[in-house]
Copies of this chain bind each other. A is one copy, B any other.
């Protein structure tokens, strides 16, 4: 008979060390930055021995992958919220872009782990393409709702990719000091982002012919 407190798959000694390690890693990441994210620091934060994590993750990179996975879920949620609150599909594209960059700016260390992991394996998480509710599909669907011709599947995919790359590039660059004067001139960070997105053509434009 199972204790009803721990939902399922609860390990033996600790309770749920795997979960605790991922949380500890997130805590270290937020507090000390990505460079301080060592396996030993995570184990320390979780209150276990340095070798304990190896019973739940093959190596350090597998732990980081789990952290990144949670990051992609958070990003999905942030984009879903932005899309739900947008008054029109046209506005939605802009809102998605701003929400994307804001997520990256609010969780810089996590965002970095997410893409570092992905680049190392040259592989974005499957959820980006496969999951019906994935962020990628959300952008693609929004493009169609905003007027893109759904028959032109290649163009739709290219436009979605273009939007994603643009947002990613902006997310990585928006923190540089060099752009402070532009943000000021635009009247704040979000207006700056919107202005850049306008120049990027993130807002939907006619796709075919």
Q: Which residues of A contact B (CB under 8 A)?
A: 112, 115, 118-119, 122-124, 128-129, 154-155, 157-159, 161-170, 172-173, 175-179, 182, 185-186, 195-197, 199-201, 205
Contact = CB atoms under 8 A, between A and B. Distances in A.
Contacts of A155: 199
Contacts of A177: 122-124
Nearest to A115: B172
Given A169-B168, A169-B170, A162 B196 contact: yes
A182 B158 contact: yes
A116 to B, nearest CB: 9
A165 B200 contact: yes
Contacts of A201: 199-201, 205
Contact of A172 (B119, B162, B197): B119
Contact of A128 (B159, B178, B186): B178
A71 to B, nearest CB: 16
A161 to B, nearest CB: 6
A162 to B, nearest CB: 4
A162 B199 contact: yes
A164 B177 CA distance: 15
Contacts of A167: 169
Contact of A169 (B122, B172, B175): B172
B166 A124 contact: no
Nearest to A173: B165
B172 A168 contact: yes
Given A155-B199, A158-B196, 20 more contacts: A115-B172, A119-B175, A122-B176, A123-B176, A123-B177, A128-B178, A154-B186, A158-B199, A161-B173, A161-B179, A161-B199, A162-B170, A165-B170, A165-B172, A165-B200, A166-B169, A167-B169, A168-B173, A172-B172, A201-B205
